[in-house]
């Protein structure tokens, strides 16, 4: 019963998370300069809102926040920042795939993690921990499926065609970014940053081989 309740709580939160896929969809139709400008403005506005929230001047709906985010930067900030970085750094096709792997792959991983123990690795006290294999398999499978579907997507004029092998490399990077909590001075790096950066990085490297 508790697992079912946790699943539906996570489902509500991840429904909002999947809305991030609209960034990838919008980028498909617009050019690089427009996408960067729009996301830079959105990030600036959200950072101001987040500063107001953390300073106690405004409150955000509880559905947007996890309990540990009440006194620290929330995941939606990292998501928007990761989308901006992905578009700035990676080729358009790779950036779109990386953002989709974050929006949809991380959603699938979160829902799977709500149904089993061991999904919350970034707030564990253990020095080294990794998500259970079934959760990793769900994440990897969804990300590979994104690559398969993108193979059939008509390319915009400013997009490059990439092979399924490149998408599979991206799925591996996304899975590692989700499953293994990298830390700086003992503090975990948010997976909303790690997933698209590793995914896009892996795809870029393999596409150059």
Spans of all domains in the chain: 2-208
Joined tokens for residue 53: 């929230």
Q: What are the DSSP E strand ranges found in the chain?
A: 183-184, 187-188
Would the pTM of this model clear 0.95, i.e. be above it?
no
Phi, psi (deg, nearest 5) at residue 187:
-105, 130
Per-residue pLDDT 10s for the chain (209 aa) are 555 555 555 666 666 778 889 999 999 999 999 999 999 999 999 999 989 988 888 887 766 667 666 678 888 899 999 999 999 999 999 999 999 999 999 989 888 887 776 555 555 566 667 888 999 999 999 999 999 999 999 999 999 999 999 999 999 999 999 998 887 766 778 889 999 999 999 999 999 98
Q: Determine if residue 118 is left, alpha or beta; phi over 0 gives left, psi from -120 to 50 gives alpha, anything else beta.
A: left
The per-residue DSSP string of 63-112 comes to GG--GGGTTS--HHHHHHHHHHHHHHHS-HHHHHHHHHIIIIIHHHHHHH
């Amino acid at each position: 019963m508790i697992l079912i309740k946790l699943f539906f709580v996570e489902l509500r939160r991840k429904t909002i998370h999947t809305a991030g896929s609209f960034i990838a969809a919008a980028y498909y139709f617009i050019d690089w300069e427009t996408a960067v400008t729009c996301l830079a403005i959105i990030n600036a506005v959200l950072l101001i809102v987040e500063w107001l929230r953390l300073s106690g001047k405004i409150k955000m709906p509880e559905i947007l926040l996890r309990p540990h985010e009440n006194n620290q930067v929330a995941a939606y900030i990292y998501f928007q920042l990761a989308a901006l970085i992905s578009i700035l750094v990676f080729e358009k096709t790779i950036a779109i795939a990386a953002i989709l792997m974050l929006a949809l792959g991380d959603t699938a991983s979160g829902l799977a993690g709500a149904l089993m123990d061991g999904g919350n690795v970034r707030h564990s006290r253990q020095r080294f921990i990794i998500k259970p294999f079934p959760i990793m398999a769900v994440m990897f499978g969804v990300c590979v499926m994104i690559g398969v579907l993108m193979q059939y997507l008509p390319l915009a004029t400013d997009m490059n065609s990439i092979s399924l092998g490149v998408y599979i490399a991206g799925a591996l990077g996304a899975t590692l970014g989700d499953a293994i909590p990298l830390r700086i001075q003992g503090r975990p790096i948010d997976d909303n940053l790690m997933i698209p950066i590793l995914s896009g990085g892996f795809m870029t490297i393999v596409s150059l081989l």
